[in-house]
Amino acid sequence: MNLRPLIFAAVVWSGLSSAPAGFFQIDSVRLQKREPRDMIGVWSFTTSGKHLRPDQFQPCLEVTARAQEAVRSDQLIAKAYFFDREGKLIADCRRPAKSGAMSDKNHFEMPVIFPRNQTSRFFFQIPPNVQGGDWTAVVVFGDRNEAVSACYPSTASDFRLNYPERKLVHRGTLNPTARKPAMDPLIEHVVRTNNPAMPQITLFLRPPKGVTDPSEIRGVLAICLLASGVDVMKRQLQQDELPGDERGAFGFANTHKLAILAWGSRRLWNPGLNHDELARDQAREMDRSFDTVAAAWERGVGELCEKYGLPNRNFLLRGQSGAAQWAQRLCLRKPDAFLAVHLHIPSSFDKPLPGAAKVLWCLTTGERESGYERSKRFVAECQSLGYPIVYKAIVGLGHESSQGATDLGFAFFKYALTQRDAREALDRKSQSALRADEGAARIEPWPDAFRHPPFVGDMVNQEVFPAQDVGLIPGPFRISLPNEEIARRWEDCR
Cα distance from N-terminal residue to C-terminal residue, the chain: 51
Beta bridge partner(s), residue 343? 319, 363
* Mean pLDDT, the chain, whole residue set: 86
Task: Assess whether pLDDT exceeds 50 at residue 9.
Answer: no
What domains lie within the chain, and their CATH numbers? 20-179 (2.60.40), 187-451 (3.40.50.1820)
Q: How many Å is the Cα radius of gyration of the chain? A: 26
Partners of 151 in beta bridges: 138
pLDDT exceeds 90 at position 101: no
Most confident listed range (110-114, 172-176, 403-407)? 403-407
> How does residue 430 score in pLDDT terms, banded at 50, 70 and 90?
confident
Q: What is the pLDDT of residues 285-301, one digit of tens each?
A: 888 989 999 999 999 99
pLDDT of residue 27: 96
The pTM for the full model equals: 0.68
Checking if the pLDDT of 139 tops 90, the result is yes
Residue 16's pLDDT is what? 34
Q: What mean pLDDT comes out for the span 315-337?
A: 96
pLDDT classification of 369: cutoffs 50, 70, 90? very high
Q: Is residue 38 within 8 Å of residue 26, measured between CB atoms?
A: no
User: Model confidence at 124, in pLDDT bands (50, 70, 90)?
Assistant: very high
Residue 271 scores a pLDDT above 90 = no
Q: For 62-95, how does the pLDDT look when each residue is reduced to its tens digit (9 = 90+)?
A: 999 999 887 878 789 999 999 999 999 999 999 9
pLDDT band at 14 (very low <50, low <70, confident <90, very high): very low
Q: pLDDT tier at 143 (50, 70, 90 boundaries)?
A: very high
Residue 194 backbone class (left: φ over 0; alpha: ψ -120 to 50; beta: rest): left
74 by Cβ neighbours in 10 Å (0-12 / 13-18 / 19+) ranks as exposed
CA 41 – CA 35 distance, rounded (Å): 7
Instruction: Give the number of other CB atoms < 10 A from CB of residue 299.
Output: 13
Q: Mind listing the pLDDT tens digit for each residue in 392-402?
A: 999 999 999 99
State the average pLDDT over residues 243-265.
Answer: 88
Query: Which pLDDT value is given to residue 181?
Result: 47
Collect all residues with Cβ–Cβ distance below 8 Å to 170 and sequence separation of at least 6.
none
Higher-pLDDT residue of 434, 309 = 309
Give yes or no for residue 440 having a pLDDT over 50: no
149 or 107, greater pLDDT? 149
| Segment 218-240, tens digit of pLDDT | 999 999 998 778 888 888 888 87
Q: What is the pLDDT of residue 177?
A: 56
